[in-house]
Amino acid sequence: MASLKIAIVLTALLVLLSGSFAQLSTNFYATSCPNLLPTVRSAVNSAIQSEARMGASLVRLFFHDCFVNGCDGSILLDDTSSFTGEKTANPNRNSVRGFNVIDNIKSAVERACPGVVSCADILAIAARDSVNILGGPTWNVRLGRRDARTASLSGANNNIPPPTSTLSTLISRYGSFGLSARDLVALSGAHTIGQARCTTFRARIYSNGTNLDPSFARTRQGNCPRAAGTGDNNLAPLDIQTPTRFDNNYFRNLVNQRGLLNSDQVLFSGGSTDSIVRGYVANPGSFSSDFAAAMTRMGDISPLTGSNGEIRRNCRRVN
């Protein structure tokens, strides 16, 4: 009898843990919006052809969305006179971008199948397509998310790891979302594309730290003055070698002490994740497969499904 009760409790727990994403499916829109995937990919490809950096921006939008109350499209909501969204949070202000691209995709999808596809799902697909178009892996995106009717400025300020994070902070933060240290390192590999503002790496390049290549620091100092308030928004590539191609050079940079952000370099600074970084340098295929798996797990963070949330008509505001 005791064993039966334990089995019932464990089953209930599994249902509770899995219920939040049990309704996600790779073929969720197969009947209701059969042209969804090519429609999204075409728009993402056009945006990247216009500006290669946009691919990284769309991936970052997805990350910043999922780390605040789950992957629910809340980051896309604009502020209004009676509503404060997440766009002005410290990790997002003057930083996250690509909202116009999501708007364009949403308009194209609405023309094909009005009122069917959520903005949260569009963002998940756009992130996948961005990675693949820039040379990275692809994966089957689990779909069926619905859009939040609210957002959390405090959640964005507190949940998204800052670029000054230590390794222990990163492992703890990712762990709180059910992501492992390997997931952390793999997802950080998204920094093989994109750029960062001077204000996010200034302290590191002027630190004279032991985990910083001096020649790399001098190169970055050329476009990022020491004085705060001067050149704060000047950009530098997160991957100095191939900033618009999704590959494993990010990890090669870390081994050579050329990580741009402190939160990058701590992944290879004598800590518990050094071996994972070395593995991704030696085996780029391992990085690609781990990245795809980690993106899927991140996409499963607390989605709204069923009758929760809504399908926004405009990604920037609730219906």
Give residue-wise pLDDT tens across range 226-241.
999 999 999 999 999 9
Question: Could you give the angle at which helices 119-133 and 99-112 cross, rounded to 10 degrees?
Answer: 110
Q: Point out the catalytic residue in the list 64, 128, 142, 220.
A: 64
Q: Which two tokens stand for residue 118?
A: 């959520």
Bridge partners of 80?
A: 83
- In this prediction, residues 144-162 reach a mean pLDDT of 97
Picking from 80, 85, 144, the residue whose alpha carbon sits closest to that of residue 118 is 144
For residue 5, what pLDDT is reported? 45
- In this prediction, residues 162-183 reach a mean pLDDT of 97
pTM of the model: 0.92
- In this prediction, residues 152-177 reach a mean pLDDT of 97
Q: What percent of the chain has pLDDT over 90?
A: 90
94 pLDDT above the threshold of 50: yes
Confidence of residue 13 (pLDDT cuts 50, 70, 90): very low
Q: What is the pLDDT of residues 38-58, one digit of tens each?
A: 999 999 999 999 999 999 999
191 pLDDT above the threshold of 50: yes
Picking from 17, 133, 125, 105, the residue whose alpha carbon sits closest to that of residue 62 is 125
Is 191 tagged catalytic?
no
| Cα–Cα separations (whole angstroms), residue 101 to 39, 88, 275 | 13, 19, 37
Confidence of residue 173 (pLDDT cuts 50, 70, 90): very high
Q: What is the pLDDT of residues 285-318, one digit of tens each?
A: 999 999 999 999 999 999 999 999 999 999 999 9
